[in-house]
Amino acid sequence: MSNVFEINHVIVKHYLSILRDVNTDISCFRQALDKLGLFLAMDLTGGLVTETVPIDTPLMPTEGAVISEQVAVVPILRAGLALVQPFRELLPEVHIFHLGMYRDEQTATPVPYYNKLQESPSVDSAIVVDPMLATGGSAIAAISALRKRGIEKISFGCVIAAPEGIVNLQEAFPDVPVTACSIDDGLNDINYILPGLGDAGDRYFGTV
């Protein structure tokens, strides 16, 4: 799938190993997820639109590039909040829209409980983030909500993705790029990613 990207970097593999380890404590888990969030933010913002501006260096005039695109990062609550800070550090003016969903454990479908999207968002693009892409249901629901509000340029970023979730998301929105730190083996019979890392939200927020 040409629209799916897996970040291949030794530092990413290092912090993924820390995340996966059942013996990793809350502090180290948070630090590792924060580091991976920075890699995702760097990758997902690499194609932002820029404009050329004149610059005077201490030695001579030259030209530079500044970001001209209005961007929103859209964390899927709760776990998606863990990936917001790197975007704020890279793009201090970034808009932050919140979408809350939880998974119905019987049906594995997303149940929305919070929506803080503007009716007519004044942004050019949106980046949806969630640590895990399992079945793809929450990602599809989030992207659908953004499209209904007129945002066409959307990308999705996660730490770990299951092939099943990627397929479902690409079938629903083939134009939405998917970036993951790791594409894992698949889902078990209760739709948890294998080998995965457990529940990212519980481990990050200390509610295991």
Least confident stretch, 38-42, 145-149, 165-169, 185-189: 145-149
pLDDT of residue 197: 94
**Residue 55: inside a domain:** no
**Residue 29: inside a domain:** yes
Q: Which domain holds residue 200?
A: 4-48+68-205
Backbone angles phi, psi at 151, to 5 degrees: -90, 115
Question: Residue 172: is its pLDDT beyond 80?
Answer: yes
* Strand 125-129, strand 186-187: pairing: unpaired
**Residue 56: inside a domain:** no
Considering its fold, how many domains does the chain have in total? 1
Rounded to an integer, the average pLDDT of 63-82 is: 91
Average pLDDT across the chain, whole number: 90
* 26: CATH: 3.40.50.2020
Query: DSSP of 123-162, one letter per residue?
Result: -SEEEEE-SEESSSHHHHHHHHHHHHTT--EEEEEEEEE-
| pTM of the full structure | 0.90
Q: Which residue has the higher pLDDT, 149 or 24?
A: 24
**Residue 85: inside a domain:** yes
